[in-house]
Amino acid sequence: MTLNSLYRMKISDKVLITGSTGFIGSRLASKIGQKNLQSIRIVSRYPCVNFDTVVCNFEKESIPQSALESINTIFHIAGFSHDMRDAAKIQKIYKKVNVDATIRLAKLAVKSNVKRFVFVSSTKAGGSPNFSVCASEKDQGDPEGVYGKTKREAELKLLKIGKESGMHVSIIRPSLVYGPNAKGNLQLMLLGIKNGWFPPLPETGNKRSMIHVDDLVLAILLVADDERANGEIFIATDGTPYSSRDIYNAMCSALDKSIPKWSVPKGLFDMASLVNPRIKYKLNKLLGDECYSSAKLEALGFKAKKSLKDMNETDF
């Protein structure tokens, strides 16, 4: 799949990208910029010399109507997530950024005759998957945590706005995203393996879905362009479930380190999970199932180009 075949943007078209300095947004901006750098306007907390920039902090400010002048497509990636503080204490920030700012942007988009609006949501909005199958968009449960709840609220309100206004609205729920400069648990795991303190994980046969950031960018562009994606939610994965041990082995290979032939017995992790709920939660995140199906996205023609097992150190 090429950019031209995925996103048939006229040379005069202009896109607005929020979250453009982040992990996903920066790769999207770079991809679109290959066609026409001048076609991009970004929303950022700070001025950016490379792009037409609207300076706005969604936690404190409302995006101005003028930001959407001449905009044809909005890629809304900015959000508030993974704050280490007690979520209940900062629930207002989650709602203000993930819901209020999103809906204001969508309503301004309608007023400004924006044609397409793509929202990057989260699999957390669909709730915890049933461990016996890889969850699809139809398997909607109770959203996970305040982050998942606010993302789901934004999804529902966006779909309503799109239906009532006629604006093309598409929603992407990425599975775990990896790639250059990724942060979070994947980067911590890679650093631990590199420095020799992360233990060899047992093979538990669990299933975790992932997607490379560049494949996610292709999926985002696809749903912006394909009329069949209007009013729909799509889960994005590379189509291959991985066990936690698979991920561990892939990181060892990427770092050119020998893969240990032994592993820490799962029983030790089970014992550790009994110590307190926080440890149990972290171990569930490490060894549990988070498997999703991207069959709906693949029906539009999406096919991931990258696999976890093909990666090198710069891909994590």
Give CA 20 to chain center in angstroms: 13
Q: Which residue has the tokens 């992932």?
A: 210
Determine what percent of the chain falls in helix, strand and coil, rounding each to the nearest 5: 45, 15, 40
CA distances from residue 219 to 3, 31, 119 in whole angstroms, order as listed: 11, 12, 12
**Is 7 annotated in the active site?**
no
CB neighbourhood size of 52 (10 A)? 14
Question: Who's near 189: CB < 8 A, 6+ residues apart?
Answer: 198, 247, 248, 251
Quote the Cα angle for 33-34-37, to 5°. 35
Please, how many CA atoms are within 13 Å of residue 60, restricted to the half-sphere of its CB?
5
Per DSSP, 172 falls in state: E
Determine the Cα–Cα distance for residues 133 and 139; give it in Å rounded to an integer.
Answer: 10
One of 147, 178, 242, 292 is an active-site residue; which one? 147
Per DSSP, 258 falls in state: P
Determine the Cα–Cα distance for residues 299 and 130; give it in Å rounded to an integer.
Answer: 22
Beta-bridged to residue 122, according to DSSP, are: none
Residues marked as catalytic? 147
